[in-house]
Structure 1
Amino acid sequence: MKGRVLIIAGSDSGGGAGIQADIKAVTALRGYAATAIAALTAQDTHTVHAIHDVPLPFVRLQIELTLKDIGADAIKTGMLNKGEVIAAVREELDLHAPETPLIVDPVMVAKGGARLLNAGAERALIERLLPRATLITPNASEAEVLTGLPVNSFAEQDRAAERLLALGARAVLLKGGHLPGEEVRDVLLTPQGRREFKNERLHTTSTHGTGCTLASAIATGLAQKLELHEAVSRAHAYVWTAIRTAPGLGGGNGPLNHTHTVKPDA
């Protein structure tokens, strides 16, 4: 076991996304996962049916105690559905882990279409978390909200990534799974240059939690001292296999096979 990752996000009762997916991904890549749960969701593979907010002082306490005792080599944020939660998270990180790499997955809309952030939270994410991010990992829809630009083609994907970098993130991985075509292209943009990560499109409904899983896999790589492009490359390979070997559970967008790295005789 190598690399401590603190995940600050929402819980998914169905186990396919959110904190549950994060823990599975970090563990499958031989990291150590700690958590601060910011919200509880009641959801299945179809949609999010209800959200229950965790009291803000308790969110703060989870972060503080974990960082003071266990510590973290990387931090990943997921669903933070209110502006005051985002502000509190930023304050706690500034207090207890100001130099720790932060991967921001701007979870805004669930796979089933349920809106997970209000307008105030979107503004707080842009103003408070994005400038602190070592890497931000939006999909095309999230990039449109964050930048105000359309993202329907490779050229627009590149333009939106440049805008996000200009807004203050140190690096941007703009995912292309929502764009049309048989090739899925993600763009990693940093001040030093750009890289593309391409895979053939897998025609499947087992895609619930892909964003959470990818961001946590990248966070694990950074916690294990991989270079950013190496962490992204490994995470891509891990998620692609997790989708390809998904168990086919549920009647909607099903979960991935997070445990494909686990040997049966371990």
Structure 2
Amino acid sequence: MNKNNPTILSITGSDSMGGSGIQADIKTITALGAYAATAITTVTAQNREGIQQLHDLSADVLEQQIQVVINDLRPDAIKVGMLRSSEQVEVVERILKTHQPNYVVIDPVVISSRGNRLMEREVAEAMLGRLFKLSTVVVIKQDSASHLVGGTPARSNEDMEQTVRALLEWGPHAVLLQGGAIATESLTDLLIESSTGEPHFFTRPGFIDRNTHGVGGAFSSAVAVFLSKGLRTEEAVERAQEYMNQLILRSIDSHSRRGTQLLNHADPNPQPIISPRLLELYNHFMNEIAMNHHRTADVSFYASQLNVSPRYLAQVTHRVAGRTPKQLIDDYIINEIEAQLLGTSKNIQEIAFDFGFSSQAQFNKFFRKMRSCTPTDFRIQR
């Protein structure tokens, strides 16, 4: 295989509904023009209500599946998802060390999309200690990350950075933390590569994957494909997000925003519900807010950064999220302020100046408008 048609080996569980697990990986990898090979770790009996039964395969059976694929196909990338025993983790570690594939994407399935724990603590710790250091990138959701390193889901960009840096200490080349609910109607992902240490924030419309089954595994498979096609990690993440966003949008009712729960990989309709241009502008706008919200809340500033008019920016945010640019900016700022009030010992004046307010009185007025109380009262009540 060449970079245009790489081979991806997915090591994860089987979903009898076909919406997640190995089935979703095959669909995603194939749709993106790569060849999908598989090794199943566990067989699930599940439907739209969730997993009903789990039947784990032995480490010996898992090893046999992986070895015959690697010996014949020499996959360009290996994606590792659900592992259910320490013995399975040891098998994967041994094989990764022996064969050293070009790219390894680790997607620890610790907590299911319905909040059920799928990996015992000792297995999670084995994965953390044995596999993270062998990975090109770890793709992990907030709740799973909290389970691994402790703490609660991040409420701010600083919280997300702390979580990612704690995971980087286990040796991966990069970590992508998914699902930071920093602002209403948006989800924030954070990528940090160990080589640079620089945070890269990616923000996407929050409604598009809340009710859709199998998004996480399909996304990490897409990252593996784009890495195998020669893209840098940051570029691979961006391309995977673009693909998944459009796939999800085509799979849900755009009017009610209620998910069908199953991704429609085979949708023949080539027209996206929201054009790539609009979605790209929205995401860039939210990324600009993440980088500049301490400096300004001026809509014109952000429109200028994006080389569009404030009027057009308003049309974009209304189409994608049903909100004005100012609402999105203020919502992001207030959530970051709340995190500072609850998570630091800074006084009110320090926080006000940190967020670019000219006076404490101006800061108090903004906070009261957004939360119907003063910052001091908010801190005391919580």
What's the TM-score once normalised by structure 2's chain length?
0.64
Q: 1:183 to 1:23 in 2, by over 3 A?
A: same
Question: Which stretches in structure 1 are left out of the alignment for 5+ residues?
Answer: none
**Which one of 200, 211, 216 corresponds to residue 211 of structure 1?**
216
Whole-angstrom distance in 2 between the partners of 1:14 and 1:148:
32
Q: 1:167 to 1:261 in 2, by over 3 A?
A: farther
**Which one of 80, 83, 101 corresponds to residue 83 of structure 2?**
80
Whole-angstrom distance in 1 between the partners of 2:244 and 2:101:
28
| Greater relative contact order (CA < 8 Å, ≥ 6 in sequence) | 1
Q: CA deviation at 1:203?
A: 5.5
**Kept in 2: contact 1:18–1:212 (CA 8 A):** yes
Whole-angstrom distance in 2 between the partners of 1:137 and 1:108:
12
Identity of aligned residues (%): 34
Whole-angstrom distance in 1 between the partners of 2:148 and 2:70:
29
The one-letter code matched in structure 1 to 2:118 is L
Give the structure 1 partner of residue 325 of structure 2: none
Whole-angstrom distance in 2 between the partners of 1:134 and 1:241:
25
Q: 1:263 to 1:244 in 2, by over 3 A?
A: closer
Say how many residue pairs are matched. 261
**Which one of 252, 258, 261 corresponds to residue 254 of structure 1?**
261
Give the structure 2 partner of residue 14 of structure 1: 17
Give the structure 2 partner of residue 25 of structure 1: 28
Q: CA deviation at 1:229?
A: 1.1
The one-letter code matched in structure 2 to 1:255 is L
**Which one of 153, 163, 188 corresponds to residue 191 of structure 2?**
188
Whole-angstrom distance in 1 between the partners of 2:104 and 2:184:
31
Whole-angstrom distance in 2 between the partners of 1:110 and 1:47:
9
Q: CA deviation at 1:259?
A: 3.4
Give the structure 2 partner of residue 100 of structure 1: 102
Q: CA deviation at 1:226?
A: 1.3
Using the TM superposition, name which of 68-77 and 143-152 deviates more: 143-152
Using the TM superposition, name which of 178-187 and 189-198 deviates more: 178-187
Whole-angstrom distance in 1 between the partners of 2:209 and 2:76:
34
RMSD between superposed Cα atoms in Å:
2.2
**Kept in 2: contact 1:36–1:59 (CA 8 A):** yes
Question: Which stretches in structure 2 are left out of the alignment for 5+ residues?
Answer: 272-382
**Which one of 124, 128, 138 corresponds to residue 122 of structure 1?**
124
1:191-225 per-position Cα deviation (integer Å, ceiling 9, x unaligned) = 21221111122266532111101100000011111
3-state SS of paired residue (1:61): helix
3-state SS of paired residue (1:137): strand
3-state SS of paired residue (1:150): coil
Give the structure 1 partner of residue 40 of structure 2: 37
3-state SS of paired residue (2:91): helix
Higher normalized helix content (fraction of residues): 2
**Kept in 2: contact 1:139–1:178 (CA 8 A):** no
Whole-angstrom distance in 2 between the partners of 1:262 and 1:85:
40
**Kept in 1: contact 2:39–2:66 (CA 8 A):** yes
Q: 1:171 to 1:232 in 2, by over 3 A?
A: same
What's the TM-score once normalised by structure 1's chain length?
0.91
3-state SS of paired residue (2:131): helix
Give the structure 2 partner of residue 164 of structure 1: 167
**Which one of 224, 227, 240 corresponds to residue 229 of structure 2?**
224
Max Rg structure: 2
Give the structure 1 partner of residue 138 of structure 2: 136
Give the structure 2 partner of residue 109 of structure 1: 111
Q: CA deviation at 1:149?
A: 2.8
